[in-house]
Amino acid sequence: MVLPVKVQAQSADAQTLADIRAELTDLYNQIGSLRRELVQNPGPAAGTDGGTVNTGPALQRLDVLEADLRQINGRVEELQNRITQIVEDGTNRIGDLEFRLVELEGGDTSLLGDTPTLGGDAVTATPLAPVDGQGGTVASGGIVENSTGGTAGGQAGGEAVAMAVGEQAEFDRARAAYEAGDYAQAAELFSRFSETYPGGPLSVEAQFLKAEALSAAGDWANAARAYLGIVSGGPSGDYAPMSMYKLGVSLARLGRRDEACLTFDEVQNRYPGAPSQVLSDTLLQKQNLGCR
């Protein structure tokens, strides 16, 4: 007997936990339908002795499939738990850095709000409802997925963001000030640009160039804050590895050796595929600081 159970062919690298959860749910539903059909309507079929087909072996195969799916479900939950732990740890570290930067600037730490969750929106648990041996449902641990159904920290569906009127001109004006060495003016213009065009196609680059202008002007505390904002706002973005590295450099310039060493460790651990120049510079900075 051929079981009509279909799984969508998809690259494992392209799948998210939400995709896997959806496929598991679909398989559970198909198995439940097959089991009910076999148990309730076995139906006569032409056999060698003219009798009915024995559905026992098919039911046994369904039992094996269900056991395999439960094992996969458990593995997915383990992976999500690890991801959740990483997100919580990263969020706590960013919050600690924000606190220390406010202290360095002599600000009021009591005014600090909650640190945004690393990677974007908070995740929520969505339980699966696998079928039991009788075609019903059984309790199962929840599988966590992004509450928006998309990829945290990115645009839904990968749609391009349209550029507003005057956006490119204002960006070019700020960049011209930066290239002319007027770093204070450039930082001000990029800051104004980010406030005027939040979420635009040039917003992250503007934030990075603002941080670069601040560091070039020797304003290491504000530069560190700017680099930190880029990492916390888009930890998987194109500018994240370099921003994390520059955050470490800024902390080192502020005399925060231990925090700088931890930040350089994060560059190596979180972005092993970063450009070779970033990784080699990170290693050199650690050697110069005597990091463990």
Q: For the chain, how big is the Rg over CA atoms in Å?
A: 27
Structural domains in the chain (count): 2
Per DSSP, the three-state class of 259 is: helix
| Cα-based distances in Å from 156 to 3, 12, 145, 152, 251 | 36, 20, 15, 9, 34
Range of the domain at 184: 157-289
Q: Residue 211 corresponds to which tokens in the numbers above?
A: 């941080």
Q: Is residue 88 domain-shared with residue 212, that is, in the same domain? A: no
**pLDDT attached to residue 212:** 97
Which of residues 118, 152, 186 is at a domain's end?
152
3-state class (DSSP) for residue 123: strand
Facing residues of 126 across strands? 143
4 domain residue, yes or no: no
Do 190 and 281 belong to one domain?
Answer: yes
Whether residue 199 sits in one domain with residue 130: no
Final residue in a domain of this structure, among 102, 123, 152: 152
Residue 6 lies in a domain: no
For 26, the token pair is: 């679909």
The identity of residue 105, as a single letter, is: E
Q: Of 152, 170, 200, which residue sits at a domain end? A: 152
The two three-digit tokens of residue 222, written as one number: 């504000």
Q: How far apart are CA 148 and CA 169, in angstroms?
A: 34
- The answer to the question of residue 145 being in a domain is yes
Full pLDDT tens readout for the chain, 292 residues: 444 444 343 344 445 666 776 777 777 777 777 777 776 665 554 444 444 445 567 677 777 777 777 777 777 777 777 777 777 777 777 777 777 777 776 666 666 666 666 555 444 444 444 434 444 443 333 333 333 333 333 333 344 456 777 889 999 999 999 999 999 999 999 999 998 888 888 999 999 999 999 999 999 999 999 999 999 888 888 999 999 999 999 999 999 999 999 999 999 999 999 999 999 999 999 999 999 8
Whether 164 and 262 map to the same domain: the answer is: yes
Residue 35 domain-assigned? yes
Handedness of CA 262, 267, 271, 272 (dihedral sign): negative
Residue 219's pLDDT is what? 94
How far is 94 from 224, CA to CA, in rounded Å? 12
The reply to whether 29 and 125 lie within a common domain is: yes
